[in-house]
Chain A
């Protein structure tokens, strides 16, 4: 009994991943990036439900309105809007009194006003259903009390009059989804291919890497464009296409790792025990290549998002009314002089995300490879 207590408790070792986590959490830029990314994802997933505008709702009366914290319609725009609607009813407005939630006015006309035409107020984005408070001269003068519909466009609207905030958030969903899905595809193909080539080695390795070299020399846009043409600009297939092109680097990195891993004692032991090749790959080779792979993945996601925006710039990306940051930015870049907010907001979102991903990638690299710091 006393012998047992004399035995010192062995210190609990820290695994590579625990070590890496501690180092990562000490890196302020990386932690900040993690928080920013989490907030960005939350905003993009939940945000479109909270803005009060569907992403494809067109507000004909609010085309290209600038970003504003106060609500639309603006007080100075009301008389003009009333005038436009009144002229469609073929009447002239007078005594227009604008209040916070209502506009009171009197419509006058040569002939009796057809009250069915008042529906034009309803149809506009600025007003609700008018209430007739008084009718004079056999319907030639109508006193109206029209409620104002208050709308917020915090980021302004685009050239079709759609709320840019909602569209930016929806675009974020698409861009992030593309980034993650395409990276996932690249990850799976690259890791399996690279690990197989590296572990098997010899002639098979040479042939497999030669294929990678050949694919490397092909202009990658060529593939993307061909795939886009094949798949007819299908949303999900395009991610897969992009992922199928971005796996080359991954395969090279993993192969390099696998080449050194296959000579490790534990792999030799597994071979001696008669574990199948697939089993060794799954159980020993692939898990041990994950360090550099994780780093590369965080750097690949921004690359894919940029690639998607490049395709969208060429007009090969996501199709309307769906949208992505790339689509929004290329629309904004075309109209940069007249409507700068159409470029500024999506570009800020994109660049913030890419910044965060890059800093996170750097932080992960430092955390997993402590030699650098």
Chain B
């Protein structure tokens, strides 16, 4: 197992390298630069700025410089948030995004899983239709509709929770963003659990359990293990995207996470910020894919890691 994990980590490095290379050059092909303001800067000022940030060097030279810095764990200075380095920005924003994303993920699992199992056991009956309807709604209603509605209802009409802001991570402030993030995930997890559960409930080993007259709870627990497999493989990419923050939720609720950085960085041609976000997101994706594969082997003895 350990050697497998180590080898997977080793193969992640070339993947990461390719990702960094593609994004670096893609970003540079885009027209415009980080210092293009509405009013053009004076030529001399521009020249000095470009020299300070080493933008005057040949592109390939810049690429090598960036790679070398990245290997040392240095993401470079931000072009847009002038007084911050990318490392500092992430040190502030990443814990916020991770906390929100992890809470939303746990909430989604805690609600979506049982809902999906309930629907599977009551297939084609009222409870099943209700879960399917709810799940479809959760998938189809965009989060930028859900978020303002929640703000209006809980923030303004009922005045139970703050409309937005982070407030040092107070529990009250995190509730609405977590619910907004979790709703579509609950829906997807419920649907996947239902489909996987229906399949597993038809399997031979479950029929044997039923034939032996075991209680529904025991049967459900045994079936859950088999049904967890597709859900786990969905959770990998989902966790990666949740933990790295959501642009919409962070913008609407005014939360200082890293989800906004990507769009802001790309629009302002903050090369280092975009590159940093790409690297961080890619690391999360690769890491969670590995976690998924390991979990898979633990859940399903037929899967062997080699």
Chain A interfacial positions (CB closer than 8 Å to B):
213-214, 216-219, 221-223, 225-226, 229-230, 302, 306, 309-310, 313-314, 326, 329-330, 333-334, 336-337, 343, 347, 350-351, 354-355, 358-359, 362, 372
Residue B267 interfacial (CB < 8 Å): yes
Q: Can you offer 14 A-B residue contacts whose CB atoms are under 8 A?
A: A214-B18, A218-B22, A222-B23, A222-B262, A222-B277, A230-B31, A309-B144, A310-B142, A326-B142, A329-B142, A350-B140, A355-B137, A372-B195, A372-B198
Residues of A within 8 A of B147 (CB): 333
In the bound complex, residues from chain A placing their C-beta under 8 Å from that of B282 are: 217-219
What B residues does A230 contact at CB under 8 A? 29-31
From B53-61, B148-156, B212-220, give the one contacting chain A: B148-156
Q: Quote the shortest CB–CB distance from B78 to chain A (angstroms).
A: 17
Contact of A355 among B27, B140, B149, B247 (CB under 8 A): B140
**Complex CA distance for A318 and B248, rounded to whole angstroms:** 18
A355 to B141, CA, bound (A): 9
Contact with A along B190-212 (1 / 0, CB 8 A): 00000100110000000000000
Residues in A neighbouring B23, C-beta threshold 8 A: 218, 222
CA distance A216 to B140 in the complex (A): 23
B68 at interface, CB cutoff 8 A: no
Supposing A221-B263, A222-B23, A222-B266 touch, asked if A333 and B145 sit within 8 A by C-beta, the answer is: yes
With contacts A219-B281, A226-B30, A329-B142 taken as known, whether A351 is within 8 angstroms of B137 at the C-beta atoms is yes
Residue among B15, B140, B286 facing the most chain A CB atoms (10 A cut-off): B140
Nearest 4 pairs of A and B residues by beta carbon: A354-B140, A225-B266, A333-B148, A217-B285
B139 within 8 A of A: yes
The answer to whether A218 and B278 touch (CB under 8 A), given A314-B263, A333-B144, A358-B139, is yes
Contact of A218 with B19 in the complex, beta carbons under 8 Å: yes
| A-contact bits for B127-148, CB 8 A (1 contact / 0 none) | 0000010001101111011011
Q: Are A355 and B136 neighbours in the complex by a CB distance under 8 Å?
A: yes
User: Which A residue sits closest to B18, measured CB to CB?
Assistant: A214
B30 and chain A: residue at smallest CB distance = A229
How long is the Cα–Cα vector from A217 to B18 in the complex, in angstroms?
Answer: 10
Do residues B148 and A351 form an inter-chain contact, with CB atoms below 8 A?
Answer: no
CB-based contact A351/B141 at 8 Å: yes
Q: Is residue B10 contacting chain A, with contact meaning CB distance below 8 A?
A: no
Residue of B nearest to A214 (CB): B18
Query: Are A351 and B248 interface neighbours, CB within 8 A?
Result: no
In contact, B142 and A314 (Cβ under 8 angstroms): no
Within the complex, what minimum Cβ distance (angstroms) separates B117 from chain A?
17
Inter-chain contacts of A213 with B (CB < 8 A):
15
Task: Name 4 extra pairs, CB < 8 A, besides A218-B22, A309-B144.
Answer: A214-B22, A217-B282, A225-B266, A336-B148
B240 CB, nearest partner CB in chain A, Å: 9
List chain A residues, Cβ under 8 A from B19: 214, 217-218
On chain A, the residues within 8 Å of B22 by CB distance are 214, 218
Expressed in whole angstroms, the Cα–Cα distance for A37 and B248 within the complex equals 28
CB-nearest residue of chain A to B16: A217
Q: Which listed residue, A226, A333, A337, A354, touches B266 by the CB 8 Å rule?
A: A226
Q: Whole-angstrom distance from the CB of A247 to the nearest CB of chain B? A: 16
Cβ of B142: which chain A residues have Cβ within 8 Å of it? 306, 309-310, 313, 326, 329, 350
Given contacts A309-B142, A329-B142, A329-B145, A225 and B277 within 8 Å (CB-CB): no
Which chain B positions have C-beta within 8 A of A218?
19, 22-23, 278, 282
Are the C-beta atoms of B262 and A336 separated by less than 8 Å? no
Q: Which residues of A contact B137 (CB under 8 A)?
A: 351, 355
The answer to whether B263 touches A225, judged by C-beta atoms less than 8 angstroms apart, is: yes
Whether the Cβ atoms of A217 and B144 lie closer than 8 Å is no
Nearest A-chain residue to B263, judged by Cβ: A314
State the CA gap A354–B184 with chains docked (Å). 14
- State the Cβ distance, B281 to closest chain A Cβ, in Å: 5
Chain A residues in 8 Å Cβ range of B29: 230
Q: Roughly how many angstroms separate A212 CA and B53 CA in the complex, as a whole number? A: 34
Q: In the bound complex, do residue A329 and residue B144 qualify as a contact, i.e. CB atoms below 8 Å apart?
A: yes
Contacts of B248 in A (CB 8 A): 310, 313
Tell me how far the C-beta of A248 lies from the nearest C-beta in chain B, rounded to whole angstroms: 11
Residue contact B31 to A219, C-beta cutoff 8 Å: no
B285–A347 touching, CB < 8 Å: no
Chain A residues with Cβ under 8 A from B277's Cβ?
Answer: 219, 222
Write the nearest CB–CB distance from B147 to chain A, whole angstroms: 8
Known: A302-B140, A343-B145, A351-B137. A214 touches B15 (CB 8 A): yes
CA distance A330 to B142 in the complex (A): 10
**A347–B145 contact, CB under 8 A?**
yes
User: Is B148 a contact partner of A226 (Cβ separation < 8 A)?
Assistant: no
B52 within 8 A of A: no
> Which of B145, B149, B266 gathers most chain A CB within 10 Å?
B145
Residues of B within 8 A of A226 (CB): 26-27, 30, 266
Given A222-B274, A229-B30, decide whether A358 and B262 contact each other with a Cβ distance below 8 A: no
Give the contacting residue for B247; candidates A221, A223, A359, A372; CB below 8 A. Answer: A221
- Report how far A329 CA is from B252 CA in the complex, Å: 14
The answer to whether A219 and B262 touch (CB under 8 A), given A229-B31, A309-B142, A358-B139, is: yes
Closest to A359 in B: B136
Contacts of A336 in B (CB 8 A): 148-149, 152
Bound form: Cα–Cα A229–B199 in Å: 45
CA of A225 to CA of B269, assembled, Å = 11
Min Cβ gap A175→B in Å is: 12
Identify the closest chain A residue to B124 (Cβ): A373
Q: What is the CA–CA distance of A222 and B237 in the complex, to the nearest angstrom?
A: 16
Contact present for A343 and B278 (CB under 8 Å):
no
A41 to B258, CA, bound (A): 39
Contacts of A219 in B (CB 8 A): 244, 262, 277-278, 281-282
Q: Which residues of the partner chain A approach B198 to less than 8 Å between Cβ atoms?
A: 372
Q: Give Cα A330 to B286, complex, Å.
A: 33
* Residue pair A221, B262 in contact (C-beta under 8 Å): yes
B1-33 near A? 1/0 per residue, CB < 8 Å:
000000000000001001100110011011110
CA distance A309 to B262 in the complex (A): 18
* Contact status B266-A358, CB under 8 Å: no
Residues of B within 8 A of A372 (CB): 195, 198-199
Inter-chain contacts of B195 with A (CB < 8 A): 372
